[in-house]
Structure 1
Amino acid sequence: MAKWGEGDPRWIVEERPDATNVNNWHWKESNASGWSKDKLNELLLHFEVNSPDKNLAVKIIEFDKLEGEAIANNRKGKLIFFYEWNLVLKWQGTILNDEEKQKINGKITIPNLSEENTIDEIDITVTVDESSDKSEVLKQFMYKVGRDKVREQLDKYITCLKSDYAKNLILPKKDNAAQAQTKTMPANHVTSNKAVINDSNIKASSNEKSEKPLGVKIDCKTLMLEEKFQCKVSELWDCFSRIEPMTAFTRGEVKLNFSKNGEFVLFGGNISGKYTEIVDSKKMVMTWRYKQWPTAHYSNVEMEFVDMEDHTLLRMTQTFVPASEFDTTRMNWQRYYFDSIRATFGYGSFLY
């Protein structure tokens, strides 16, 4: 750690034309799920596998299942990728020297395409819809030859995710960004509400006499979520009010003063805020901000804990979320708060 006054060059503000994410130091997250679905369709749909003697021909005709997500992160100039996909592909094959030219149908199941597995560790299962001598020939062909060909296509997806998609996540430094233009909000952007912040660093132009800071108008939205947990109200309340369980599900250092006007810092400083109202085991209200939001801009978060007959219902309302960060904010609540709490403590989703 640098001594007081010496300064860490990663924190020194460069004269960047776009004035965002200096030195790529702050966490920047991008949802690559939509792009990934398009890329997987491009690489796998209508993909053909043929035997060396051209007698066996198999084509992937459609997706029976394409579920999952992909996230690309830039942290301290380092790219980090998270992806997890569950794929089921329908294939159709033909034995060309067969006089009947019978069409054989089957499926390829890929349940664990994720960054936790190397391409060789990915499970690929081959099945046929109806068992026969002819279908068994094509099944064995797809098992011995087709699986490797499919793995090659999956490897192309991973390569493209880490190169083509990620190329815009690392921002150029000041020497490479002389032509960059300052980003502005579209004038005709439609939102549900607006917020105004005052930044003392925003000064009037030198030819103006006023010394007052300028107001910056931000297009905002309201996020409303309901989540069910298989646990008591007191157990879920502890997850948001006590440092031990909060440290467990956030998997990092937590700074927490759970009291009115008490402050909190989570996820390596990316999330911070202050509690403004606490009603024990029933409601908590707080200011809340994501580090990459505009300077001094906070949202308001209200959580209600409802004791149901056999589960706990959490109602959350978050106002003044920057419209440009709305989808990312919703996804992060789900992934890093709710899903992580369920996975860490086994509270699970309530199922009827």
Structure 2
Amino acid sequence: MAKYGEGDKRWIVEDRADGANVHNWHWAETDCLPWSRNFFNKSLSNLTILDGEGNLYIKIKKVDKVEGEAYVNVRKGKIIPGYEINVVLSWEGEAKDAEGKSLLMVEGTVEMPYIADENADEDPELRVTVKDEGPIGKRLKEAMVAKGKPLIFLKVREFVTAMAKGGPAKDDLEAKKVAPKNGNGQGGGTPSNSEVVVEKEVKKEVKKEGKKGVKTITMTEKFSCRAKDLYEILMDENRWKGFTQSNARISKDVGGQFMIFDGSVTGTNLELQDGKLIVQKWRFGSWPDGIDSTVRLTFDEPESGVTIVKLTHTDVPEEDRYGNATVVENTERGWRDLIFHKIRAVFGFGL
């Protein structure tokens, strides 16, 4: 990968005297390393991994290092991200006994030595160390690997998605899409065809604001099992722990509360019909305050041993509390990869 600022001279046009990049005809390159540091600091600092499960308490304290190169090239609206970065985190853990007395407190590091655009579709290598290698220290380290890795990888995927959409250049690109244009460049005149398209995009954006920046996710999945069995898997916390490999507390009563994915998702049961319907309020910890979504799962068994699940997940915000516009994409991927596909993998249900 070429270093930032060392692009092929045939493709980088010298700056004009007036500073304009007309129609983004040549490559406009943005240094994204400071933005990347800010992204990981917001996403990973003070991130709770375990909060008492198994009498273990683990959290990421801070981001120690984000080094390397990160940039985005834009030409005529086409975004080409490039990055090779090394990320180092500090974490701390504590083990307590059944009475809440501290047994050991440890510190350690998490390093991802190579997060790169060429491996954007793969999770990076992750190395976890702990300063105390005794039995309790090793137990805390193993818990950090088992429970921390999925949460950290989720944040890395959010970074990859954000870079693919322009990183810090995204706002500039959006502004150019909706910027009003005039025939003479200063106001007045008859709009050209391209200006009519821009005006339509402005109206589309206004309509999106009218929906308060939320989206709906719909999915249909087919399983080779009884509807009542699939319903039980989703509503039984021990089975949930089994197929997600994460901690969960799930009430089976209407009005009862639940916590899944180690507390990343919390909510309330709104309506339950055994083997037929689950309606719940869902909220992710990274969402803006006061935002709740609604999950509706219907179970249909057209023939014995075959169940069709229909998911409707409404009021999913487009951005999280940090301004990352990847919530809808990550939520949809979570349903597909972390729930539906893992049910098949663990319990052997086929399509």
**TM norm. shorter chain > 0.5:** no
Higher relative contact order (CA 8 A, sep 6+): 1
Larger helix proportion of the pair: 2
Q: TM-score under structure 1 normalisation? A: 0.43
Q: Which has the larger radius of gyration?
A: 1
Q: TM-score under structure 2 normalisation? A: 0.43
